[in-house]
Amino acid sequence: MSDEGFLTFGTILGLVGGFLILLFGVIEASVGVVILALGGSWVGVLPGVGGILIGIILMVIFLLLVVSDEGSETLGAVAIVLALVSLACGAGGLVGFAFAVVGGACAMAFSRENREVPYHPRKPTSSSSEAAPTAPPPSPRFYRGCVNCGTISPVEATVCPNCGSKLG
């Protein structure tokens, strides 16, 4: 799978994890409000509110990774820390935590800074004053270069096809 595929996979997992944490936060906050209405303490609402906030922040982080890869290592680390905090709050359960951690780890591991840029040699331009040596066609034959201009010719050739110099 390519790097972009892993980044997309990690982003999708992170978004699902953020959504699960948000969903469980809403459920926990709702249960806390019901308990508060029945004469309980308002402390039961706090984990739900924390889950809602963490879920929203995680979803924003992973949406930022969809739009741009800039700072993906930092955003991935923040996502992992927020997932750990959500687990400590009891918001989102293990599945939301696991998805957010894997999404953050993928964002950190597959950032643009960590990818190798493939080497593409520059093609010679026709505006150069000297004739550029031509590359030999792929075949099992043997070739030799012209001492005068550098053109590659088959070993059977006696004169350079480019400048007419004797090969030898």
CA distance 21 to 155: 71
Same domain, 95 and 147: no
Q: Is the domain of 142 the same as that of 81?
A: no
d(CA 72, CA 80): 12
Evaluate whether residue 125 is within a structural domain.
no
Q: Are residues 105 and 157 in the same domain?
A: no
User: pLDDT of 64-121, one tens digit each?
Assistant: 888 876 778 888 899 999 999 888 777 667 888 899 999 988 888 876 555 544 545 5
Two structure tokens written together for 98? 């696991």
Q: Is 68 domain-assigned?
A: yes
Mark whether 100 and 139 lie in a shared domain: no
Q: What are the beta bridge partners of residue 162?
A: none
Range of the domain at 136: 131-168
Number of domains in the chain: 2
Residue 124, domain member (yes or no) = no
Average pLDDT, the chain: 78
